[in-house]
Amino acid sequence: MNATFVLLDLRRITRNWSAMFFTAVLPTFFYVIFGATVDAKGADIGNGNVAMYVMITMAAYGAVLAATSVSANAAVERVQGWGRQLGLTPLADSAYIAGKALVAMTVAAVPVALTYALGVATGARGSASAWALSALLALVGSSVFAVYGLLVGTAFQSEASAGAASGSIVVFAFLGNLFVPLSGGLLAFAKFTPLYGYAALARYPLTEGWLTDGSRDPLWLPITNVVVWTLVFGALATYFVRRGRERQ
């Protein structure tokens, strides 16, 4: 991995203030509205309170949005000729991919850190294990959507694909029980959508699987959801990458 390449790429991304606002600042803004200022924020839920539940949810959303955006842009760079330029340098493909993965995870860590810091300052409460494990799961789990961003970027091969990938995350968030508590048939459908398993797994150290409608998800359910969607995204991304090479 080339440290200079990683640092330059991080500097380039963080200079884009509008993108950083939506990936880093916006999730904390959502937490303030839906978690830190609501009357029920101190109500008990699992191993913590409602404020912590919303905090984890918004941190996970921000991490996914950041990872998707960075990886989608990286895929577009490759298919639009940046890959050929890099081919003239000593930087290997494996080093490029590892560098982009590190950049994606670093950017994804920003909304997690900001939202958790704000949670500490505004009354989010939970057990020490819930704090540590939920943050770790939110960050590591977002790597699934780095693969998703790569998939969309290589499939559509245009600058608009990065925006489409990020925009689709908003739809997945609504369908995945992140923004509005679902119930009945909608909740049953949500359990098959990409963001449901990831968000449920991030919240598991707090909720232990209990949902707002009184039902409970066994641990295998969010794990299975994450594994299946990782395989689906990975297989499709591999297909589109190979198809792109054949066209070149």
User: Average pLDDT of each block of 10 consecutive residues along the chain (248 residues)?
Assistant: 70 73 82 89 94 96 91 71 60 63 84 94 95 97 89 80 86 93 93 97 96 92 97 87 60
- Please report the pLDDT score of residue 116 as a whole number: 96
d(CA 226, CA 58): 18
- Please report the pLDDT score of residue 154 as a whole number: 80
Which amino acid is it at 95?
Answer: A
What is the number of domains present in the chain?
A: 1
- Strand-pairing partners, residue 126, are 48
Query: Could you tell me where the beta strands, DSSP code E, fall in the chain?
Result: 44-45, 48-49
| Residue range of the domain that includes 143 | 3-247
Q: Which residues lie closer than 8 Å to 93 by C-beta, 6 or more apart?
A: none
- Strand-pairing partners, residue 210, are 216
User: Each residue of 224-236: pLDDT tens digit?
Assistant: 999 999 999 988 8
* Cβ–Cβ under 8 Å, residues 154 and 240: yes
- Please report the pLDDT score of residue 247 as a whole number: 54
- Please report the pLDDT score of residue 9 as a whole number: 72
